[in-house]
Structure formats: C-alpha cells, structure tokens
C-alpha cells in the first residue's frame, strides 16, 4: 500500500542473486537452496507450539524425513539410528508462518517501475523477495494477484529459495475496476483501439462470457483459487471505494467456473454492499472488508465465509503518491478496529495476511502486520491464525491445492516439514518476528534447512 524509493543497485543485485540461484551464473557467496538430507532429522529438547493448541507441549521429539513430519514421539523413544540430531535447547518449535494475502511479484517492486517493467525484470525482483521471505520465517504464501506461476514452479523444484505459493494468477477485474490501471488516453475512445496495459497483476473482463474465459485461463495456468475484484481499492486511482464492481451474474459466473474445478473465489472488497453482493453470489472468502457493518458480519457467519483481513494501522512510512489514495486509505484505517471486533464477536474465521504492494520497505518488515495483530489477539491467537488457521483457508483449494501431500501450518504427523525454532522459552510474542535475524534460530521448509544458528 505504501511505497519505497527505488534502489537501482539493490534491484540489480537482486537479479544477479536470482540468476546465481538458478545456476545461470556461478561463484560468489550467493544464497542457495539447500539439499534435503536423505536421513531422518530428529528435533529434540523443544517446547512445541503445534499451530493448533494455544498452549505449549513438552516432552516430545519430532522426526522429519524428506519433506514431511514422519512422527512426533515421546522424548524417551530412541531416534532412528541414521538420524541427524538437532538439539533445540528448550526453545519453542512451531510451524512456519503463512501469509494469506501476499503479492509475490509486486511486494517489493518499486512503484516508479510498475508501469514500465518487463516480465523478466519483475520475476527477478520477486525472486529476491521470495528468498528474503523465507528468511523472515514465511514458508507459505497465498498469492492473491500476480502472474507468479513460473516463480512458484522454480521455488518448488528448488531452483530458487522461497515460500510455497498458492497462486491466483491474474486478478479478474471489470473495466474501471480495481484491476484497471490504464490511463485515460489508453481507453478505446481516445486510442481508437481498446488496449490492455500489461500489468501482470490483473486482467480486464466485462460480461459473463468474458469473466468465464478469464477465470478459466487462470485455472488453465494453474491457479489454486481465483481472485476477483468486487469493489473499490486504494492504489487504483479511478474506482471509488464505495463502488460496486461486477454484477451478481458476473460474480456467479466466476464462482461457477472455480467450483467446476473444485476450488473457490475470493474477492477484493471493502464496502458492505460489495461484500454482500459477492457473498450472495457464492464467494467463499473476502479480502479486506474493513468497512463491514454488523449485518455484513452476520451474513459472513451464516454463510461460513472466511475473512482475510489485514491489520492496516497508521504507519510512519505511509506515503501514498496521490491524495486520492490517501483519502481512501484513511477511511479503511478507520474501519480496521471495528472489523476485527466484528469478526471476533461473530466468530468468523479470520486469516492473517499483509498485502504489501509496491512497498519494498514494508515487505522487508513483513511481520510488522503480524505484530499489529496484538491489538486484538494474544500471541497464541495471532500465531494460530498465521499458521493452522491460514492453512485451513488454503486447504479450501481442494483438488487444486498444489501441495496435496499434507497440511501446512501445523506440526503433526504427515504435515509438510515447515518448521521454525524460535529463540523463546514461552509462546513467542508477535513482535518477536520483527527481528527474524535474531529470533529465528532455525528455518526449515519442505524438510530443507534454510537457516540453523542453534
Ligand atoms: Zn492485495
């Protein structure tokens, strides 16, 4: 939402890091993706936060083999003879963090480059951020707009370091909607030719048939869920926050196409009317929703709709370019507290996500928004949301889940071995994730160790 200054050297460095990680350029001290050790890894001497229970469990040991958690046993059981032992020194072992609203391709893209960047430069910039994200403790992200399929594949096959990505592909937007980033002189009335600016974030579709086609294209590309813009946004300049985007028929068409592939639609919406229209059309998740009213919250509860809410609170670094953006942000900020309280009061399932977009400084401190949850949740509640609850939301992709071998966000037998060891003897505070360099002593994803300072 906010933006940082372009650091050209950092940008070039990021590109080279990614190339080195891909094996296209040798040498140097570039980061790399570690190999998965063949033998069993036995974690011992830890206090377990399993992502589900809000209290710690002691007296356990945990075995990892390949990408999975093989078993959780009593500490007295002898580990397998071939096991490599990791003594956690009595610290907390927990699941890797999940960001349910991330833009892998755009989080750290300097705002000035957004209109002109080519796809190859965009991917290299994103690769650098992905590597940084895993070092911040994020082992999974749900990408809710962005052409991140190739990035995801490169991460999955170990060519570059980064979190698992649940991709939405391009967000589908109506003309004049939150995903229409054209300038006035690019409209057909002026250019004589309806051009679509390549933005790699969203795609424009009007009418039921066009919506079906664009949704199906994202599914064709491998989307695990579909993102539709159903109301006004902040960074987009020309769509009022209160605007309703897409008719009920168009929204239903998107929902049907997603359901036909066994998955779901999540919508960008802030206003109560946009949220209600989308929920009535069958969407399963609302992104944002900061302006919800009591009736909206009741509807969400009754329909079992997820609330992917972000703790947008005033930040010192908030510097939007345009006063139109600032005004919109202000009204969203005013709704944040009420939205969390409504969600708690009505028992709505809430996901944790950050939504950094073209904000290199913000994304570099991704857990600022995790720490901000402490206004409404205690540490265990916030961490539970950022792990097992987010994992439950991701599982709604059903047969389109790109990681079907086990759950993410929980420490249990058969789950993916995405593990943090935190330098804490009690449930870590949400603020402790602001300094992952010191607070995270071990980071494992997919059974691979990315950091170990134990
Ligand atoms: Zn977003």
Q: What is the mean pLDDT of residues 41-45?
A: 97
295 and 146, same structural domain?
Answer: yes
Picking from 376, 398, 432, the residue at the C-terminal end of a domain is 376
User: What pLDDT sits at residue 12?
Assistant: 32
- Whether 89 and 225 map to the same domain: the answer is no
The CATH number for 360's domain is 3.20.20.140
On whether both 443 and 313 belong to a single domain, the answer is no
Higher pLDDT, 116 or 302: 302
- Same domain? 92 vs 219: no
- Protein residues near ligand 1, an ion, with CB under 5 A: 355
**Residue 310 Cα to ligand 1 middle (Å):** 10
Of 201-205, 255-259, 262-266, 282-286, give the lowest mean pLDDT range. Answer: 201-205
- Residue 92 CA to ligand 1 center (angstroms) comes to 31
Q: Do 299 and 417 reside in the same domain of the chain?
A: no
**Count of domains forming the chain:** 2
Taking only the tens place, the pLDDT of each residue in 54-72 is 999 999 999 999 999 999 9
Confirm whether 348 is domain-assigned: yes
d(CA 144, ligand 1 centre) in Å: 6
Q: Is residue 19 part of a domain?
A: no
116 and 58 within one domain? no
Gap from CA of 38 to ligand 1 centroid (Å): 38
- Per-residue model confidence (pLDDT) at position 1: 38
Last residue of a domain, one of 376, 393, 423: 376
Residue 193 pLDDT? 61
Spacing, Cα 312 to ligand 1 middle (Å): 12
Residues 301 and 176 in one domain: yes
Kindly report, residue by residue over 128-150, the tens digit of the pLDDT.
999 999 999 999 999 999 999 99
Is residue 234 domain-shared with residue 170, that is, in the same domain? yes
pLDDT of residue 345: 98
Instruction: Tell me, yes or no, whether 391 lies in a domain.
Output: no
Q: Check residue 191 and give its pLDDT.
A: 65
At 103-119, the pLDDT tens digits run 999 999 988 888 788 88
In this structure, the answer to whether residues 194 and 266 fall within a common structural domain is yes
Among 376, 401, 435, give the residue marking a domain's end.
376
pLDDT band, residue 415 (cuts 50/70/90): very high
pLDDT per residue over 328-375, tens digit each? 888 888 899 999 999 999 999 999 999 998 899 999 999 999 999 999
Q: What is the mean pLDDT of residues 217-246?
A: 93
357 Cα: distance to centroid of ligand 1 (angstroms): 7
Looking at the fold, whether 249 and 282 belong to one and the same domain comes out as yes
Same-domain status, 153 and 252: yes
C-alpha of residue 414 to centroid of ligand 1, in Å: 31
Q: Mean pLDDT throughout 150-171? A: 97
Question: Minimal CA–CA distance to 170: which of 204, 150, 197, 145?
Answer: 145
Q: What is the pLDDT of residue 194?
A: 58
Domain harbouring 419, CATH code: 2.30.40.10
* Same-domain pairing of 325 and 447: no
Q: What is the pLDDT, as a whole number, of residue 22?
A: 34
Q: How many angstroms separate the alpha carbon of residue 236 from the centre of ligand 1?
A: 11
Give residues with Cβ within 8 angstroms of 286, minimum separation 6.
266, 267, 269, 275, 278, 279, 300, 305, 306, 307, 308
For ligand 1, the distance from its centroid to the CA atom of residue 63, given in whole angstroms, is 37
**Which of the pair, 193 or 398, is modelled with greater confidence?**
398
Q: For position 35, what pLDDT does the model report?
A: 74
Mean pLDDT of 408-430: 98
> Confidence class of residue 419 from pLDDT cuts 50, 70 and 90?
very high
Q: Within a domain: residue 32?
A: no
- Tell me the average pLDDT across 13-20: 35
Query: Percent of the chain scored above 90 by pLDDT?
Result: 76
Distance 430 CA to ligand 1 centre (A): 22
Q: Tell me, in angstroms, the distance from the centre of ligand 1 to residue 287's CA.
A: 8
Q: What is the pLDDT of residues 233-251, one digit of tens each?
A: 887 778 899 999 999 999 9
Domain-embedded: residue 131: yes
Percentage of the chain exceeding pLDDT 70: 89
Q: Which residue range is the domain that position 443 belongs to?
A: 41-96+410-452
């Amino acid at each position: 939402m906010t933006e940082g200054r372009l650091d050209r050297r950092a940008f070039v460095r990021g590109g080279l890091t990614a190339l080195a990680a891909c094996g296209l350029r040798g040498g140097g001290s570039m980061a790399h993706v570690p190999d998965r050790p063949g033998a069993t890894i036995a974690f011992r001497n830890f206090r377990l936060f399993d992502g589900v229970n809000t209290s710690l469990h002691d007296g356990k040991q945990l075995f990892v083999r390949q990408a999975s958690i093989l078993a959780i046993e009593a500490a007295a059981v002898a580990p397998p003879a071939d096991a490599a032992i990791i003594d956690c020194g009595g610290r907390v072992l927990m699941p890797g963090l999940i960001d349910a609203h991330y833009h892998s391709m755009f989080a750290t893209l300097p705002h000035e480059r957004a209109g002109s960047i080519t796809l190859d430069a965009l991917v290299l910039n994103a690769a650098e951020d992905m590597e940084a994200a895993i070092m911040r403790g994020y082992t999974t992200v749900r990408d809710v707009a962005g052409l991140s399929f190739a990035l995801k594949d490169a991460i999955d096959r170990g060519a570059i370091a980064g979190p698992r990505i649940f991709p939405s592909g391009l967000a589908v937007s109506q003309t004049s909607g939150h995903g229409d980033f054209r300038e006035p002189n690019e409209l057909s009335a002026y250019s004589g030719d309806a051009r679509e600016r390549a933005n790699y974030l969203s795609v424009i579709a009007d009418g039921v048939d066009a919506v079906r086609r664009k949704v199906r294209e994202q599914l064709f590309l491998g989307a695990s869920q579909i993102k539709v813009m159903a109301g006004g946004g902040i960074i987009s300049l020309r769509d009022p926050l209160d605007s309703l985007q897409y008719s009920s028929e168009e929204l239903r068409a998107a929902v049907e196409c997603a359901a036909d592939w066994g998955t779901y639609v999540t919508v960008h919406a802030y206003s109560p009317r946009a949220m209600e229209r989308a929920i009535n059309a069958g969407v399963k998740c609302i992104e944002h929703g900061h302006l919800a009213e009591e009736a909206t919250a009741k509807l969400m509860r009754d329909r079992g709709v997820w609330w992917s809410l972000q703790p947008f609170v005033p930040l010192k670094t908030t510097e939007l370019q345009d006063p139109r953006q600032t005004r919109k942000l202000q009204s969203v900020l005013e709704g944040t507290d009420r939205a969390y309280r409504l969600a708690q009061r009505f028992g709505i399932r809430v996901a944790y996500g950050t939504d950094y977009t073209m904000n290199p400084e913000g994304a570099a401190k991704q857990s600022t928004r995790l720490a901000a949850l402490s206004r409404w949740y205690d540490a265990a509640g916030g961490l539970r949301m950022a792990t097992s609850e987010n994992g439950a939301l991701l599982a709604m992709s059903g047969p389109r889940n790109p990681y079907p071998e086990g759950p993410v966000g929980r420490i249990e037998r058969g789950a993916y071995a995405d593990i943090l060891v935190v330098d804490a003897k009690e449930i870590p505070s949400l603020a402790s994730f602001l300094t992952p360099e010191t607070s995270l002593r071990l980071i494992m994803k997919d059974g691979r160790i990315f950091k170990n300072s134990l």
